[in-house]
């Protein structure tokens, strides 16, 4: 059985685990502490980043977008449409959700790993402005929730779960449409709720 090395709070890990479940690919989930640089992780991904997927053949697949593409191939296109324009929409939504997550992680790490006097507020403000601009774009262009979702929808749900986990009360004002979208996603796909960042 393939293994996914992950962290429960990671939006990228949540996306990959949700994608595997949605695509019907059973995976063993293995929690790893990236700060400890365990050999299991660094042997799979020399960058020491999660998630990493280890196939039955022992081949490592990373990063999260490469993993969703891999899962799509082995599942016979369960995660991305075959139609080129629709596939581009799904890939773009995944990239936007992941990009927002990148900005949020920069925020979290700046506060977690730097002493208070070394935190660079202009850098945090710049990252947050990207988050707000992107969330507002998503409010204006909220994706529909069809019966057959894509890796883009899954990435957005993972991101909204991460926002709720780490930034509760800081992003929702004026964006209730996204809060409702997440709730609707959970109602339509309750089997994926267990993978949301926590």
- pLDDT digit string (tens) for 130-140? 999 999 999 99
Q: What is the DSSP letter of 173?
A: T
The pLDDT assigned to 117 comes to 87
* All structural domains of the chain: 3-74 (3.40.30.10), 84-191 (1.20.1050.10)
Report how far residue 184's alpha carbon sits from residue 190's, in angstroms, rounded to the nearest whole number: 10
The alpha carbon of 182 is separated from its chain's Cα centroid by a whole number of angstroms, namely: 14
The pLDDT assigned to 116 comes to 86
Structure tokens at 112: 């977690």
Contacts of 163 (CB under 8 A, 6+ apart): 104, 171
pLDDT band for position 182 (cuts 50, 70, 90) = very high
Residue 112 has pLDDT above 90, yes or no: no
pLDDT in tens, 14-46: 999 999 999 999 999 999 999 999 999 999 999
In sequence order, what are the beta bridge partners of 6? 31
Beta pairing, strands 3-6 & 52-54: antiparallel
The pLDDT assigned to 130 comes to 98
Residue 111 has pLDDT above 90, yes or no: no
Global pTM reads 0.96
SS3 83: coil
Answer yes or no: are the C-beta atoms of 119 and 110 closer than 8 Å: yes
């Amino acid at each position: 059985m393939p293994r996914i090395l992950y962290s429960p709070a990671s939006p990228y890990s949540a996306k990959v685990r949700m994608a595997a479940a949605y695509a019907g690919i059973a995976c063993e989930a293995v929690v790893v502490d990236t700060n400890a640089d365990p050999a299991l992780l660094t042997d799979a991904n020399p960058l020491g980043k999660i998630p990493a997927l280890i196939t039955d053949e022992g081949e490592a697949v990373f990063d999260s977008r490469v993993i969703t593409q891999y899962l799509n191939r082995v599942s016979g296109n369960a995660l991305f449409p075959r139609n080129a324009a629709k596939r581009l929409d799904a890939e773009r939504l995944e990239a936007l959700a992941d990009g927002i997550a990148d900005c949020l992680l920069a925020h979290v790490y700046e506060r977690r790993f730097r002493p208070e006097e070394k935190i660079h507020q202009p850098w945090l403000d710049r990252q947050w402005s990207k988050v707000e601009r992107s969330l507002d774009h998503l409010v204006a262009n909220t994706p529909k929730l069809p019966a057959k979702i894509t890796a883009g929808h899954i990435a957005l749900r993972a991101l909204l779960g991460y926002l709720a986990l780490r930034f509760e009360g800081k992003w929702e004002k004026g964006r209730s449409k996204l809060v409702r979208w997440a709730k609707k996603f959970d109602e339509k796909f309750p089997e994926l709720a267990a993978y949301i960042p926590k």
